[in-house]
Amino acid sequence: MARDETRIKIAIQKSGRLSEASLKLLDKSGLQFARSKDKLFWYGRNLPVDLLLVRDDDIPRLLLEGVCELGIVGQNVAAEKILEARRRRPDADLESLATLEFGHCRLMLAVPEDLDYQGPAQLAGQRIATSYPRLTRRWLHDHGVEADIVTLNGAVEIAPSLGTAEAIVDLVSTGTTLRANHLKAVAGVLDSQAALYRGSSVLPPERQALLDKLVQRILGVQRASETKYVMLHAPRDRLARITAILPGAETPTILPLEGQSERVAVHALCTEQVFWEHLEELKSAGASAILVLPVEKMLT
Ligand code: PRP
Ligand code: ZN
C-alpha cells in the first residue's frame, strides 16, 4: 500500500466484538467508504479519510508506529500493548481521546470452579495462562505475588483443564466462556470498554486540522448517543424540583403555554441516561406530557 501523506487512516477491528459498533460510529460521523468485503483497506469516498480493518491486537502498534492516526480498540488491548512497547521505548504512549461506551468487558483472574480461592497469595509459584502477560505481571506485582506467567495467544480458558496452568487471566464479557470451561472469576484486573486513540505521529497543520475536525465529529456522535432531549409540561412552582430530577441537564429552556399562567413547557438536554424511573419521578413531581427524544448530532 503506497503511503499517501495527505490522508488520514483509522484502524478498527476487522471482525469481532468491536467491529459493528466501530463502523456504525464512523458512519454516523459522516464518513463514507468504498467497502470491499475481504480487503483490509477501505478508501474514503467523501473525505480524505481511509479505514484499515485489522486484528484488534495490531491496532496499538499501527498507532504507535504512525501507520494510522486514529484507532478504535479496547482499553485492555491498548494497555497491554503500550506496556509491551515500553520495553523498547520507555516513553511509548497512546492518547485516549474518548471512551466509546461499547465493548464493555473485564480482564479477570479465574480459577477452577471447585477451588477454594482465598486471595492472591494463593497464586504464589503457580502458573497463570493469559494473552495479557504484562497487565497480569503488573497485577501480581501490585499484590506482592510471584507466579509464572504462561503466555498464550488464544484458547486461554482451556489451559487449566489441559494441566498447563492453575489459573488464567482473561477477558470476561457475558461469562459464558468461563462457565463452559468450569472456571470462576475471582478478581478483576482491568475494567475495559472501546476507546478512541490517537497515534503518536506529528502531522502537518492541514492534516492536523482534518484530524481535529474528524475527532470533533466522532465525539459529537458519541455525546449525542448518550444525550436525550426531554420535553414536558410542569407547574411553574415545581420547576426547581423538576429540573433537579432531569439527569445531567444544565439550564433548561422554559417556555410559556398559551392560555396557562400556572404551567410552563420545559425543554432540556439530558447528558446522562434517562431511565423510566426518572420519568416516573417527574410525573409524581407534577410533570405531564413528558417526551424523551433521541439526539442525532451535537456540535457545542
Ligand atoms: C474474549 C475472551 C474469551 C471471551 C469471553 O475473546 O478471550 O474467549 O471473549 O467472553 P464471554 O465472557 O462473553 O464468554 P474475544 O472475543 O475478545 O477474542 P480475542 O481475545 O481473540 O480478540
Ligand atoms: Zn483479539
- Each domain of the chain, given as residue ranges in start order, spans 8-101+194-224, 105-191, 227-294
From residue 280, alpha-carbon distances to 92, 96, 208, 274, 289 in Å are: 49, 37, 47, 11, 12
How many Cβ atoms sit within 10 Å of the Cβ of residue 231? 16
Separation in Å, CA 295 to CA 164, 171, 278: 51, 33, 18
Choose among 286, 294, 295: nearest CA to 266.
286
Does the CB atom of residue 177 touch ligand 1 within 6 A? yes
Residue 131's H or E segment, with its range, is: none
**Residue matched to cell numbers 487471566:** 169
Considering the domain delimited by 8-101+194-224, tell me its CATH architecture. 3-Layer(aba) Sandwich (3.40)
Compute the distance between CA of residue 24 and CA of residue 12 in angstroms, rounded to an integer: 11
Pick the CATH number of 227-294 from 3.40.50.150, 3.40.50.1980, 3.90.1150.10, 3.30.70.120: 3.30.70.120
Residue 58 near ligand 1, beta carbon < 6 Å: no
256 lines ligand 1 (CB under 6 A): no
pLDDT of the residue at 1: 44
The response to whether residue 153 sits with its C-beta less than 6 Å from ligand 1 reads: no
Q: Compute the distance from residue 59 Cα to the ligand 2 centre, in Å.
A: 10
The number of the ligand nearest the C-alpha atom of 180 reads 1
Task: Please give the chain's pLDDT, 300 residues, in tens.
Answer: 445 578 999 999 999 999 999 999 999 999 999 988 778 999 999 999 999 999 999 999 999 999 999 999 999 999 999 999 999 999 999 999 999 999 999 999 999 999 999 999 999 999 999 999 999 999 999 999 999 999 999 999 999 999 999 999 999 999 999 999 999 999 999 999 999 999 988 899 999 999 999 999 999 998 888 899 999 999 999 999 999 999 888 889 999 999 999 999 999 999 888 899 999 999 999 999 999 999 988 887
Task: Looking at the CA of residue 173, tell me the nearest atom of ligand 1.
Answer: 12
Q: What is the model's pLDDT at position 223?
A: 87
Phi/psi of residue 293, nearest 5 degrees = -115, 145
Q: State whether the beta carbon of 171 lies less than 6 angstroms from ligand 1.
A: yes
Determine the Cα–Cα distance for residues 168 and 185; give it in Å rounded to an integer.
9
Return the H-helix or E-strand segment holding 159.
helix 159-162
- pTM, whole model, 2 decimals? 0.86
Same fold, 105-191 and 227-294: no
CA-to-CA separations, 187 to 98, 137, 171, 255, 291, in angstroms, rounded: 26, 14, 12, 52, 42
As a whole number of angstroms, the distance between CA 149 and CA 86 comes to: 19
d(CA 7, ligand 1 centre) in Å = 33
Q: Is the CB of 173 under 6 A from ligand 1?
A: yes
| Superfamily covering domain 105-191 | Periplasmic binding protein-like II (3.40.190.10)
Q: Whose CA is nearest to atom 9 of ligand 1?
A: 171
The one-letter code for the residue type at 74 is G
Ligand 1 nearest-atom number relative to CA 16 = 16
Grid cell digits, residue 62: 499501527
Buried b (16+ CB within 10 A) or exposed e, 91-113: ebebeeeeebebbebbbbbbbee
Q: How many angstroms separate the alpha carbon of residue 163 from the centre of ligand 1? A: 21
Question: Does the Cβ of 172 fall within 6 Å of ligand 1?
Answer: yes
pLDDT at 225: 86
Buried/exposed code over 164-174 (b: 16+ C-beta within 10 A; e: otherwise)? ebbbbbbbbee
Q: What is the largest CA-CA distance in the chain?
A: 79
Q: Is the dihedral of CA 155, 157, 161, 164 positive or negative?
A: positive
Strands 70-74 and 95-99: unpaired
Residue with cell 483443564: 161
